[in-house]
Amino acid sequence: MRLVVVSNRVTIPDRHEKATAGGLAVALREALEKYGGLWFGWSGAVGEDTRQVQRGNVTYAVTDLTEAERQSYYLGFSNRALWPIMHYRLGLTEFQRSDYMGYLGVNRRFARALAGLIQPDDVIWIHDYHLIPLAAELRRRGVTNRIGYFHHIPWPSADVLGALPFSATLVRTLAAYDLIGMQTELDVRNLIGGLVDLCGARQEGRRVRLGARETLMQAFPIGIDVEAFRRLAAASVRRAVTPLRATRESLGERKLVIGVDRLDYSKGIVQRLEAFGQFLRSHPEQRGNVSLLQIAPPSRSDVPEYAELDRMSDEVAGRLNAQLGEFDWTPIRVVKKAYSRTALAGFYRRAQVGLVTPMRDGMNLVAKEYVAAQDPADPGVLVLSRFAGAAQQMGEALIVNPYDTHEVAEAIRTALAMPKSERIRRFEQLYHVIETTDIDWWRRRYLEALTGVPLSTGAVEPPRKTGTRTKGDSATRRASRAKGAAVPGRTDTKSRAVAAGHKASPHPGDAGHSTPVR
Ligand code: F6P
């Protein structure tokens, strides 16, 4: 079997990238390296170039988009129509027929290029809403291989999605897939409802029949590389990464509340700033004792709704700082730039509260990274929106409604006042969840469902080296480690050292440059 991954953007790795790339990119690349394979998609550039680059046993096949394609396929239909409606934001949804035609055109062009590269035993794994009709286009060109799709963002009910012109036609193309993966059970239910209501499909449990095709729908909540992130966080503290040192100096003993998101309206950044302002107004004794650091790297700035959010977040932060700040204390710092993963891990660990309050989110990996980065002996508290997919798994966070400013403000207060024993109890449960459903678990479960072959049998996966620990073994060990428990086969001293945040193995290297926040 050879694996073919298709995603909107493809970054060809350079020699140093392994340490800096985000969890998903690394997980997919690892899967490709295991099986040998092909990663196909947009180069991220505007032009007319198409090229293939070989890195080990992985071929990266990338193509530029023309400016017209970028406008219609990427900025237009994907990000002004599909993105808002998938995030339940009908009011922000801007549909243009020409954008939809451009979207279909790019999918057709990708299918034409990809069909020529497919081999008979390839398994094809397509990612994200930009590429929904790609499998149907491949089938039209005679591709009969197994094709899976993973939808990284939410999927709304048929009532909401049905408002999008051509939604029934678009949803119908999903029948070309053998397996559709969603982040949560709610997304699966909504998707099945959409296929039944909008397209007249027949449901049989988790399978949906449409015409001659049968598609399996299943939830696969995506995870992170918990162990790698935990190590990054511990290393960043020891190595005093520059932005952290500066933060430490400027904050002194003050507590830190942190938010980290792409500058996107789905993330609820403006609402979060307002909630922090409300918290300071309701609890004046906290003024001067705590600051909010919001890291918000700009994103999709050519889309007008994003430009508006950029302006609004500056305005709200400026107003709140002017109203509530003191000459020696700035309540809110909004930093619109990306940081290395090492620096982010260090910021998370320094923060007493992780504020993850999207208005709607497929999963939200920041919630998982915040937990992974905590010091097990003195962890911070996660405040999490009930509308993030992560809330389905992370019930031990303080779950809030991001539309309720007062509720979020009170959760900040509760988090800051929470006794250490309760913080540790919640942290241990959350850590256990994210570790047992990490990125490796996600990838293996998805590929098992798509190929129909349990990867652990070795029938699909290359044989493990003799003496290599199984994934189950290492997950159990790491979960125990996070709890500070003695791990069978290890000395007590070593497991205690790790639980206390000491380095267990060589750090993965400082990330010299920044990576996107999903
Ligand atoms: O989560 C959906 C997603 O499209 C990711 O695939 C991507 O990394 C992220 O949003 C950022 O989007 P963009 O590629 O438009 O900057």
Grouped pLDDT means (10 residues each) for the chain, 518 residues: 94 66 72 88 96 94 98 98 98 98 98 97 97 98 98 97 98 98 98 96 95 96 94 83 71 92 97 98 97 96 96 98 96 95 93 98 96 97 98 98 98 98 98 96 95 61 35 42 36 30 29 44
Tell me, in angstroms, the distance from the centre of ligand 1 to residue 224's CA.
16
Tell me, in angstroms, the distance from the centre of ligand 1 to residue 128's CA.
8
Protein residue with its CA nearest to atom 4 in ligand 1: 128
Ligand 1 lined by 461 (C-beta under 6 Å): no
- Nearest-angstrom CA–CA distance, 130 and 106: 9
Query: Could you tell me whether strands 50-55 and 58-65 are parallel, antiparallel, or unpaired per DSSP bridges?
Result: antiparallel
Structure tokens at 511: 């990330």
The DSSP code for 493 is H
Protein residue with its CA nearest to atom 14 in ligand 1: 9
Protein residue with its CA nearest to atom 12 in ligand 1: 518
Ligand 1 lined by 298 (C-beta under 6 Å): no
pTM for this predicted structure? 0.87
Angstrom CA distances, 424 to 369, 375, 377, 481, stand at 16, 9, 7, 14
* Residue 450, pLDDT score: 97
**Mean pLDDT estimate for the chain:** 87
Tell me, in angstroms, the distance from the centre of ligand 1 to residue 518's CA.
6
Protein residue with its CA nearest to atom 10 in ligand 1: 518
- Nearest-angstrom CA–CA distance, 368 and 221: 12
Ligand 1 lined by 264 (C-beta under 6 Å): no
- Nearest-angstrom CA–CA distance, 191 and 362: 13
- Nearest-angstrom CA–CA distance, 286 and 414: 12
* Residue 110, pLDDT score: 98
User: What atom in ligand 1 is closest to the CA of residue 362?
Assistant: 1
Ligand 1 lined by 341 (C-beta under 6 Å): no
How many C-beta atoms lie closer than 10 Å to residue 191's C-beta?
23
Q: Give the closest residue to 276 by CA, choosing from 263, 293, 254, 262.
A: 293
Structure tokens at 462: 């290359």
Ligand 1 lined by 239 (C-beta under 6 Å): no
If one residue of 7, 9, 11, 360 were mutated to test the ligand 1 pocket, choosing by the most ligand atoms within 8 A of its CB, it would be: 9
Would you say 168 and 197 are in contact if contact means Cβ atoms under 8 Å apart? Answer: no
Tell me, in angstroms, the distance from the centre of ligand 1 to residue 300's CA.
9
Ligand 1 lined by 517 (C-beta under 6 Å): no
* Residue 413, pLDDT score: 98
Ligand 1 lined by 43 (C-beta under 6 Å): no
The DSSP code for 71 is I
Ligand 1 lined by 300 (C-beta under 6 Å): yes
User: Interhelix angle for 226-239 vs 471-482, to 10°?
Assistant: 40
* Residue 518, pLDDT score: 59
* Residue 455, pLDDT score: 63
* Residue 240, pLDDT score: 67
- Nearest-angstrom CA–CA distance, 48 and 417: 57
Q: Give the closest residue to 127 by CA, choosing from 12, 10, 209, 21.
A: 10
Protein residue with its CA nearest to atom 15 in ligand 1: 300
- Nearest-angstrom CA–CA distance, 239 and 235: 6
Angstrom CA distances, 432 to 244, 469, 504, stand at 27, 19, 19
If one residue of 5, 6, 7, 8 were mutated to test the ligand 1 pocket, choosing by the most ligand atoms within 8 A of its CB, it would be: 8
Tell me, in angstroms, the distance from the centre of ligand 1 to residue 130's CA.
10
The set of catalytic residues is 152, 361
Tell me, in angstroms, the distance from the centre of ligand 1 to residue 114's CA.
21
* Residue 454, pLDDT score: 74
Protein residue with its CA nearest to atom 6 in ligand 1: 128
Ligand 1 lined by 9 (C-beta under 6 Å): yes
Tell me, in angstroms, the distance from the centre of ligand 1 to residue 129's CA.
10
If one residue of 155, 267, 518 were mutated to test the ligand 1 pocket, choosing by the most ligand atoms within 8 A of its CB, it would be: 518
Phi, psi dihedrals of residue 326, rounded to the nearest 5°: -125, 170
Tell me, in angstroms, the distance from the centre of ligand 1 to residue 70's CA.
14
Q: How big is the CA angle at 294 (ends 290 and 298), to the nearest 5 degrees? A: 170
User: What atom in ligand 1 is closest to the CA of residue 24?
Assistant: 8
Tell me, in angstroms, the distance from the centre of ligand 1 to residue 488's CA.
41
* Residue 517, pLDDT score: 59
